[in-house]
A and B are shown apart, each in its own frame.
Chain A
Amino acid sequence: MKKIHILIALLFISITAIAGGNEKFQQKMGETLGGYATAQSPEDFQQLANKFARIASVEKKEWLPLYYQAHCLIIKSFVIKGEPAQRDEILDQVEKNVEAMLELAPEESEVFALQAFYYTARLTVDPQSRGMEYSMLSNQAIGKSLGINPQNLRARYMKISNDMGAARFFGKNPADYCPDAKALYDSWDEVKSPSPIHPQWGKDQVAELLNSCK
């Protein structure tokens, strides 16, 4: 994921003329996506999220800046070492973004996939109380995402991840889903993204799932 984003960022910085009315938007998005390459700490992800927020405040009809702001904040909520209340507060902003995205793009598969990711993040804040409810919400969002686009890579990744988690909980073997994970990893690059600034992430995460299969 990181390498691809560096390449894309460099590409956009070097190209001076791109046909199309949203040239500035595409360029800015490309540049900002480059930030993923070096982001590691919670502060890094907050900073990256803020950049996407600024783009979102200008481009009020685009859902992609809101998407990445939310995505960065979800990652921040995972890496921050803080109280549950702090993590929930970060996710409160994500919740606002998800609602806004659903208004702008009600039939966008990636938005539902991100919603599923958001529900999983909420779950991990307090698994004991939220386990059943939020895993159900996450699965529903994945269902909606795949219903719109059965090829959606991120939705397919999260389905396998959720299934493995449920298997562990119900005392079944998570390795039953390893063949699905392998197939997804192998065929990842076959699915083309609508544009360089559309969501590309997930392959590294599938690789992590495969690691736990060995």
Chain B
Amino acid sequence: MKRFIICLLFSLLQLSLSAQSTLSGIILDEKGEALPGANIYLDGTYDGCTSGLDGTFTFSSQESGDLVLKVDFIGYKSFSQNISLPGEISDLKVQLEEAFTELKAVAITAGAFEASDAKKAVILTSLDMVTTAGTAGDVYGALQTLPGTATVGESGQLFVRGGNANESQTFIDGSLVHQPYQSTAPATPTRGRYNPFMFNGTVFSTGGYSAEYGNALSAVLLLDTKGVPAEDQLDIGILSVGGDLAGTKTWKDGGITANVNYTNLGPYMSLVPQNFTWNQAPEALGSSLSIRQKTGKSGLFKLYGNFSRSGFNLEQEDPNAALERNTYDLSNDNLYLNASWKSLLNANWSVKTGVSFSMGTDEVGLAEGNFTSGLKGLHSKSVLTRQLTEKIKIRAGGEYQRREYEEIFSTENEEFANRYSDNLLAGFMEADIFASKKFVTRLGTRMDYSGRSNQAQFSPRLSTAYKLSEKSQLSLAYGWFYQNPTDNFQLYTDQLNPERADHLMLNYQMTDQRRTLRAEAYYKNYRDLVKFTDQPFYLPEGYTNQGEGYAYGVDFFFRDKKTIKNGDYWVSYSFVESQRNSRDFPEMATPSYVSRHNFSFVYKHWFGGIRSMAGMTFQYGSPRNFNDPNQDGFNSSTMPAYKTLDLNWSFLYRENIIFHAAVSNVPGFKQEFGRRFASQPGPDGNFQSVAVRPPAKRFIVLACFITLSPNKDKNQLKTIQ
């Protein structure tokens, strides 16, 4: 009523004496209910009104002629109607249609964990990945607390849903990272090469992923680097294991960051007893350069380059000769370049293009001689996206990849060298179709071609999601996934076909304020897996594609940021049943990297009073199999269950100084990952063996991070909170 009077008063303030019209009616939403607060007006004039609590409106106008009556309300499509004044317009009923925006519509969740800061409803932020206790700043470590993954302590790589580590591929800004892990010795865990602070968007897909990605049987990890930096700053990191220095300079619409880092575990290992014997502790020196530049109105160009050199000299017990030790002297050089550009071309078209180049060389000194392996990889991809209609989006793209791999083994007298190269082409097309805000379908197809084997494969991909209610949705994904055999097999044969996995998964997700529940069931069928024959490994006859396998299971994930004040936790549980007959397996068996039950509990708490953030991670992996040649059956022995409890603590000493401490395996749970066996039986007929253990019972890191910037309030709390 009050609104009605005020509306009328203001329109009466017009001083003109010309004819007056009255317009009235009611504004309704899509469901036919009253919509208060809508803006009703005559386009091009000041005349108008706001709808009342009951949706009704009335206003007067002195205007005359052909006019357009418009109704606006945020979240709804604007309504317009042609009218002629003067005249009486009464009982006008306007029903507004909700505006469609992809951000508010249902999103496909089957198989995908998105940690993108851009989306509003997000389960994990990229900071979560970094600040989880026990990961020591390793992206892959953080991913191992998510469902669908297993922690394989002797490896440190990513094993997803019954799949081997090589079945997961990593992409930065859309381009492949050929060697995402540091080089390491056998039975020695590794970690990722790239600093997680570089990224602000992560999509971890444990299956059913888009047709844009290929050559991965199990999973893809999509990392997006940060955009243009906001300010000049200098970051200094002093750690118990090394140091890190990064300088950032910004200019209008762009910026450059240069970084140098050095790691040396020597001093640390001399203080803390280790299981392994290091003649030279792992040492690494690296530097990187990152340039960002906005182009035009909506474009962004990114360039990233990283070079690092690392090495160590490790003494390992030799199962072939109990009293002897082998030295494994590794030195590695790695260069990675990645350039990408994305931009809107106009209202409906956008383009994304990128290229990456990798060059990595491992030189290993063994007692018997020197072993060198080198990989050169080039990957380039371009994707065009067109918004066909408001509800249909189409993407199409092409990729080219070149891989060159060589292995050289040299002794005093001879040298054995093998190398291969391959040119791979791929193309894909995909459509996202929103039947409504509640139902979306993604249909895609991909073609992969390998020059070397002169074969092409088509993979269909389908995923769909349906919103059951405001808070919950169901999602389904199905697809075929191919992957070329690993480099070390392709060295000796070009006769192999790609391996193949078919995925089917069903996902249920519920988000209520700051709590999320996810449950996913999946079935993977493997075929054409590489199998060894009884022929020598260096002949093409040594390999076939006769292998097969399966994996099925369920994953649960529950995250709660609400219940405990200043506390944030998640629980993840995976069950996987998987067997395969591949490589050197004599029969169908569960591989040693599969644990039937995996459980993680991650907790973080902010203690405001003492400006500290504490984190705790508990992980459990049920006993895994390993093969003991002294026992009957294959992979019939089991190693102890894996348990760890990690803690970390960050203290904001000043606005720009943070102290950080992290300890893994605080209670000192005994961790053993099977045994390594001699290649021949000993004199008593038994195969000798040595236990596979982690490098140390616990790993402790202390660090201090300092941020210097023109704006004194800046610090790295965001990066560790």
Contact = CB atoms under 8 A, between A and B. Distances in A.
B37 A166 contact: no
A72 B611 CA distance: 35
B197 to A, nearest CB: 14
B713 A166 contact: yes
A50 B39 contact: yes
Interface string A31-58: 1000000000001001100110111011
Contacts of B566: 128
Contacts of A82: none
A121 to B, nearest CB: 15
B128 to A, nearest CB: 10
Interface stretch (A131-139, A148-156, A179-187, A197-205): A131-139
Interface in B703-721: 711, 713-714, 717-718, 721
B45 A16 contact: no
Contacts of B608: 169
A93 B45 CA distance: 21
Size bracket of the A interface: 20 to 34
B655 A170 contact: yes
Contact of A57 (B41, B74, B713, B721): B41
Interface residues of B, number: 40
B53 interface: yes
A43 B230 contact: no
B682 interface: no
A105 B34 CA distance: 37
B48 A88 contact: no
The secondary structure that dominates the B interface is loop
A102 to B, nearest CB: 12
A129 B125 contact: yes
A46 B50 contact: yes
A26 interface: no
Nearest to B609: A171
Interface string B110-128: 0000000000100001000
B220 to A, nearest CB: 26
Interface string A15-38: 010000000100010010000000
Among the interface residues A31, A54, A133, A143, which one has the most CB atoms of the partner chain B within 10 A? A54
Given A16-B15, A136-B713, A139-B711, A31 B10 contact: yes
A46 B35 CA distance: 12
Contacts of B125: 129
A140 interface: yes
Contact of B37 (A24, A46, A55): A46
B652 interface: yes
Contacts of A143: 711
A31 B15 contact: no
Interface string A113-149: 0000000000000001100110110011001000000
A56 B41 CA distance: 12
A210 interface: no
B230 A140 contact: yes
B418 to A, nearest CB: 51
A58 B37 contact: no
Given A43-B53, A136-B713, A170-B655, A28 B75 contact: no
Among the interface residues A28, A89, A90, A128, which one has the most CB atoms of the partner chain B within 10 A? A128
A208 interface: no
A92 interface: yes
A57 B611 contact: no
A58 B46 contact: yes
Interface in B598-637: 608-609, 611
A143 B36 CA distance: 38
Contacts of A51: 48, 50
Contacts of B44: 57-58
B17 interface: no
Contact of B48 (A16, A54, A132, A139): A54
A171 B653 CA distance: 10
A58 B13 CA distance: 19
Among the interface residues B36, B74, B609, which one has the most CB atoms of the partner chain A within 10 A? B74
A104 interface: no
A4 interface: no
Nearest to B125: A129
A182 B437 CA distance: 52
Interface in B533-549: none
A13 interface: yes
Interface of A: 13, 16, 24, 28, 31, 43, 46-47, 50-51, 53-55, 57-58, 88-90, 92-93, 128-129, 132-133, 135-136, 139-140, 143, 166, 169-171
Interface of B: 3, 6, 10, 13, 15, 36-39, 41, 43-50, 53, 72, 74-75, 120, 125, 230-231, 561, 566, 608-609, 611, 652, 654-655, 711, 713-714, 717-718, 721
The 5 closest A-B pairs by CB, nearest first: A50-B39, A46-B37, A47-B50, A132-B718, A93-B74
26 contacts: A31-B10, A46-B36, A50-B37, A50-B41, A50-B50, A51-B48, A54-B47, A57-B44, A88-B120, A90-B74, A92-B74, A93-B74, A129-B125, A132-B717, A136-B713, A136-B718, A139-B713, A140-B230, A140-B231, A140-B711, A170-B611, A170-B652, A170-B654, A170-B655, A171-B609, A171-B611
Given A43-B36, A57-B44, A140-B230, 6 more contacts: A13-B13, A47-B37, A50-B39, A92-B75, A132-B718, A139-B713
